[in-house]
Amino acid sequence: MSESTVIADSGAQRSGVSAPAPAGRGRSILRPLLLVALLVVLLALPLYVEEFWLRTGFAVFGAAVGAIGLNLLVGNAGQLSLAHAFFLAVGAVSYVYVSGEPGGLGVAELDGLGLPPIVGMVVGVLLAGLAGLIFSPLAARLRGIYLGVASLALVFIGIHVLNAWTPVTGGFNGRAAPNFELFGFTFGNRDPELYVLGVPFREAERLWYLGLVLALLAYWYARNLLRSRPGRALQTLRDSEVAASVMGVNVQRYKARIFLVSSMYAGLAGVMYALSIGSIAPESFGLELSILYLAMIVLGGLGSVNGAVLGALFVSALPLVFQRYADLIPFVGDRGEGGLAAGEAARFLFGLAIVLVILFEPAGLAGIANRITGRVRRRPGGRVTEHPPDSSSQSNAPVPSDKPAQGSTT
Amino acid sequence: MTQFLSLLLNGLSLGALYALIALGFVIIFKASEVVSFTHGSLLLLGAYSIARLSDSIGFLPAVLVGILITAAAAFVIERLIINRLRGAAVISLAIVTIGVDIILLTELIRRLGSDILNVPHPWGGESFRVGSVGLSQNRLIAFLVAAVLIALFFVAFKYSSWGIAMRASAEDGETAALMGIRQGRVSALAWVVAGVLAAVAALFLVGSPTPGVTPTAYAVALRAFPAAILGGLDSTGGALAGGLLIGIAEAMAAGYQDQLLFLGRGFSAVVPFIVMIAVLMFRPSGLFGTKELTRV
């Protein structure tokens, strides 16, 4: 959010000083520059920042991937899904099973294929996609809220399977996730030992880069998808299925495909989650996780890729930050002292934020950011029209009725 | 056979409670087009207030006050939030109730902590037996109370002016408004009724054979979701049928657990969802729900 404010600010100044140059052109030079600056900062961060922030960062990257995927489904295609936790679980479990070594863990006898982690990651993503594809025929038949509740079922079935299928999932206690590894380079603490500019690059630093790359790929793909024909088709489908099919959009097929894409995103997010926590357990993939993802995209702004990233940053980093700075933040502290536990405080905040966002700012953080940049941009000339926010597309924007079609029949 | 009969009875009584909760979903949906994800925490709120108050003011007053508190909470939610969002997309409305649910549930779980509160039901934990078929007394009373309440509800829904107003506004909100039906009032009343039904269900759900007030009561409300959905979200009769169906299916799966062991322990908790998916495969709007028509 802050960097986009900066973009707009300097863009405005520039157009104010060098009189008639349209602000649009100034922005077109500045925006890539600032993006590069942001990227450099993100790349250099592990050299300066301590482990806690890097680990939080990796969790945020994972959440961002998942949130982008869910936002494609809910925000852009208008299919309410509470099953995201299930698809995350499919990805995480596949990764752990495919790449994990067989062996005993306490009383449980675990299976594992012991394949390279990259295979595990790919299989995780593909299997999650497959799960989405299998669910999609049912999903395509259901509308709106029926779909939301039906997808609820997947979460509970998923938890049950996670608990019951011990050889694969580790059962109630879960099982450890193997370190990620790429062509002999381990994303762990050693092997090889690595120093960059005198800074030891251990697990947290290595994972940071892995997360950054994956999140960037996910972001880039989603942006492109939304600007392409399928992306437009999905948004038409959300606004009116009838209009979409009249325009030649195969509604069933597009619904199935967006389920596929969204659950593949979730699968990747699941693998990253397993890597970030270092283990998987059934309780991590409950309804609460689905709701957190929903919170991310609602807070960030439905239908906006940037929004999903902002939401993921907010929702997944907040509890960790609360936990770390519990002594400094008022009302947050140990349960025994009458304060709120960090997780509780964060949940209160999410709940409240969701309600407030839906009541007052349905476009979410992305909408707020857009409004700020829009206001700043308009000030100098008063000539530049406000850029249509990314989220001209929030789901409760007035749904265009079927009037065009009506007109054409009469 | 005995086992089957006793499971059937258990299932019916559980189903009646599910039906109470599902009815709440349905009338809220009919009156304000909202699918209330807040119901789980409303239920827990009812159970919690009854359990907390019954120590100090006795069982019956506690039940009354608990029901009042729950209804009041539902009323406040409707007035403060839902009423302001009239006409918003169904998805936004559902998400906003999820937000409310997060707040309420977090607070309740925080207050509950790790201890289990007990509701001192005067009828205790004994079972009621006919021959060798047994049912816990709590469940028997639950079944009777639920039956009475549901019957009352259907009568009111059919004949009272509130019922007529609600059916009218569910049928066609705009026309109903033009005929002088105050939709805000209809919707507020629907939330209050749903709150009362949830609190009554909570009262029995935390009695024997379940152990006291725990956050698991919340999960029970989630299992009533399938009941409402498979009956058809806009059908009160469907909620009743769906509740009973889900209750019986769950009780059977729990009773024949040993035969179902290959599906894993605790399978019965998943059964409602599986039944729901199976029904939705063939009837996407539920058993008795109105099919959505699209006019071009």
Task: Note whether B90 contacts A145, CB cutoff 8 Å.
Answer: yes
Minimal Cα distance from A361: which residue of B? Answer: B92
What are the CA-CA distances from residue B194 to residues A46, A71, B30, B59 (Å)? 53, 32, 12, 22
pLDDT at B68: 93
> Which among B106, B273, B284 has the least Cβ separation from residue A348?
B106
> Which among B229, B266, B280 has the least Cβ separation from residue A163?
B266
Instruction: Provide DSSP, B123-172.
Output: TTT-EEEETTEEEEHHHHHHHHHHHHHHHHHHHHHHHSHHHHHHHHHHH-
Task: Return the minimum-mean-pLDDT range out of A137-146, A310-319, B77-86.
Answer: A137-146
> How far is residue B60's CA from residue B122's CA, in Å, rounded to a whole number?
9
> Which among B35, B102, B222 has the least Cβ separation from residue A351?
B102
> How far is residue B20's CA from residue B27's CA, in Å, rounded to a whole number?
11
> How far is residue A232's CA from residue A291's CA, in Å, rounded to a whole number?
27
Q: Report chain B residues whose CB lies below 8 A from the CB of A152.
A: 222, 225, 273
> Which among A153, A246, A359 has the least Cβ separation from residue B276?
A153
Q: Report chain B residues whose CB lies below 8 A from the CB of A405.
A: 296
Helix (H), strand (E) counts: chain B: 11, 2
Extract the tokens encoding B202.
């909570």
> What percentage of residues in chain A have a pLDDT greater than 70?
72
Give the closest-approach CA distance of A393 to chain B in angstroms: 12
> Is the pLDDT score of A61 beyond 70?
yes
CB B95 within 8 A of CB A150: no
CA dihedral for B238, B241, B244, B247, sign (positive or negative):
negative
Using alpha carbons only, give the angle B21, B242, B106 rounded to the nearest 5 degrees. 35
SS3 of residue A273 by DSSP: helix
Q: Report chain B residues whose CB lies below 8 A from the CB of A344.
A: 106, 110
The fold of the A50-324 domain, in CATH, is: ABC transporter involved in vitamin B12 uptake, BtuC (1.10.3470)
Minimal Cα distance from B225: which residue of A? Answer: A149
Task: Return the minimum-mean-pLDDT range out of A146-155, A235-244, A343-352, A398-407.
Answer: A398-407
Stretch A50-73: mean pLDDT: 86
Minimal Cα distance from A408: which residue of B? Answer: B296
CB A132 within 8 A of CB A263: yes
Query: What is the CB neighbour count within 10 angstroms for residue B144?
Result: 12
> How far is residue B252's CA from residue A228's CA, in Å, rounded to a whole number?
51
CB A154 within 8 A of CB A86: yes
Stretch A334-356: mean pLDDT: 74
Give the closest-approach CA distance of B147 to chain A in angstroms: 26
Query: What is the CB neighbour count within 10 angstroms for residue A230?
Result: 15
> What percentage of residues in chain A have a pLDDT greater than 90?
3
Read off the pLDDT band of A109 (50, 70, 90).
low
Q: What is residue A199's DSSP assignment?
A: E
Name the residue ranges covered by the structural domains of chain B: 2-215
> How far is residue B57's CA from residue B63's CA, in Å, rounded to a whole number?
10
Extract the tokens encoding A133.
């594809």
Minimal Cα distance from A148: which residue of B? Answer: B91
Q: Assess whether the previous peptide bond of A192 is cis (omega < 30° from 0).
A: yes
Extract the tokens encoding A214.
């994956």
What are the CA-CA distances from residue B20 to residues A291, B28, B79 (Å)? 25, 13, 23
Q: What is residue A185's DSSP assignment?
A: E
Residue A248 burial (C-beta neighbours within 10 Å; 0-12, 13-18, 19+): exposed
Contacting residues for B37 by C-beta, under 8 A, at least 6 apart? B94, B97, B98, B101
Contact residues, A window 245-274, toward B, CB-based 8 Å cutoff: 246
> Which among B90, B102, B294 has the least Cβ separation from residue A291?
B102
Contacting residues for B86 by C-beta, under 8 A, at least 6 apart? B32, B183, B184
Q: Report chain B residues whose CB lies below 8 A from the CB of A355.
A: 81, 96, 99-100, 103
Task: Note whether A358 contacts B95, CB cutoff 8 Å.
Answer: yes
CB B277 within 8 A of CB B230: no
> How far is residue A4's CA from residue B264's CA, in Å, rounded to a whole number?
51
Helix (H), strand (E) counts: chain A: 16, 8
Extract the tokens encoding A191.
């092997």
- Strand A108-110 and strand A199-200: the pairing is unpaired
Nearest to A269 by CA among A55, A117, A69: A69
Give the closest-approach CA distance of A125 to chain B in angstroms: 24
> How far is residue B149's CA from residue B197's CA, in Å, rounded to a whole number?
8
Nearest to A222 by CA among A210, A234, A211: A234
Cβ of A404 under 8 Å from any chain B Cβ? Answer: no
One-letter amino acid for residue A390 of the chain: D
pLDDT at B75: 93
> Which among A78, A164, A291 has the least Cβ separation from residue B264?
A164
Minimal Cα distance from A354: which residue of B? Answer: B99
Q: Which residues is A245 bridged to in the sheet?
A: none
Task: Note whether B102 contacts A396, CB cutoff 8 Å.
Answer: no
Q: Report chain A residues whose CB lies below 8 A from the CB of B229.
A: 146, 149-150
Instruction: Provide DSSP, B102-120.
Output: HHHHHHHHHHHTTSPB---
Q: Report chain B residues whose CB lies below 8 A from the CB of A143.
A: 284, 292
Q: Report chain B residues whose CB lies below 8 A from the CB of A336.
A: none
CA A329 to chain centre: 27
pLDDT at B293: 64
Contact residues, A window 76-95, toward B, CB-based 8 Å cutoff: 78, 80
pLDDT at A191: 64
Nearest to A28 by CA among A44, A6, A11, A43: A11
Q: What is residue B292's DSSP assignment?
A: P
pLDDT at B192: 92
Cβ of A143 under 8 Å from any chain B Cβ? Answer: yes
Task: Note whether A148 contacts B110, CB cutoff 8 Å.
Answer: no
Give the closest-approach CA distance of B13 to chain A in angstroms: 23
3-state helix, strand, coil in chain B (%, to 5): 75, 5, 25
Give the closest-approach CA distance of B122 to chain A in angstroms: 34
Read off the pLDDT band of A189 (50, 70, 90).
low
To which H or E segment does residue A105 belong?
Answer: strand A103-105
Read off the pLDDT band of A382 (50, 70, 90).
very low
Q: Report chain A residues whose CB lies below 8 A from the CB of B25.
A: none
Per-residue pLDDT of chain B (296 residues; tens, 9 = 90+): 777 888 888 888 888 888 989 988 888 888 888 888 888 889 989 988 888 888 888 888 888 999 999 999 999 999 988 888 877 777 788 888 988 998 998 888 888 877 777 777 777 667 777 666 777 777 888 888 888 988 888 898 888 888 888 888 888 878 888 888 888 888 888 899 999 999 998 888 887 677 677 777 788 888 888 888 888 888 888 888 888 998 888 888 887 877 777 777 777 788 888 888 888 888 877 788 777 665 55
What are the CA-CA distances from residue A295 to residues A291, A353, B86 (Å)? 6, 9, 21
A-B CB pairs within 8 A amount to 143
Residue bearing tokens 């406040």: B76
Residue bearing tokens 């009469």: A410
> Is the pLDDT score of A286 beyond 50?
yes
> How far is residue A310's CA from residue A300's CA, in Å, rounded to a whole number?
5
- Give the relative orientation of helices B90-112 and A144-164 as an angle to the nearest 10 degrees: 40
The better pLDDT of the pair A178, A408 is held by A178
pTM (whole model) above 0.90: no
pLDDT at A377: 55
Q: Report chain B residues whose CB lies below 8 A from the CB of A335.
A: 110, 113
> Is the pLDDT score of A130 beyond 50?
yes
Task: Note whether B284 contacts A146, CB cutoff 8 Å.
Answer: yes
Q: How many residues does chain B have?
A: 296
Task: Note whether A152 contacts B102, CB cutoff 8 Å.
Answer: no
Using alpha carbons only, give the angle B274, B267, A90 rounded to the nearest 5 degrees. 70
> Which among A80, A160, A359 has the least Cβ separation from residue B81?
A359
Q: Report chain B residues whose CB lies below 8 A from the CB of A142.
A: 280, 284
Task: Note whether B281 contacts A150, CB cutoff 8 Å.
Answer: no
CB A47 within 8 A of CB A206: no
Extract the tokens encoding A205.
């630093």
Contact residues, A window 320-349, toward B, CB-based 8 Å cutoff: 335, 340-341, 344, 347-348
Task: Note whether A355 contacts B91, CB cutoff 8 Å.
Answer: no
- Give the relative orientation of helices A203-227 and A229-239 as an angle to the nearest 10 degrees: 70
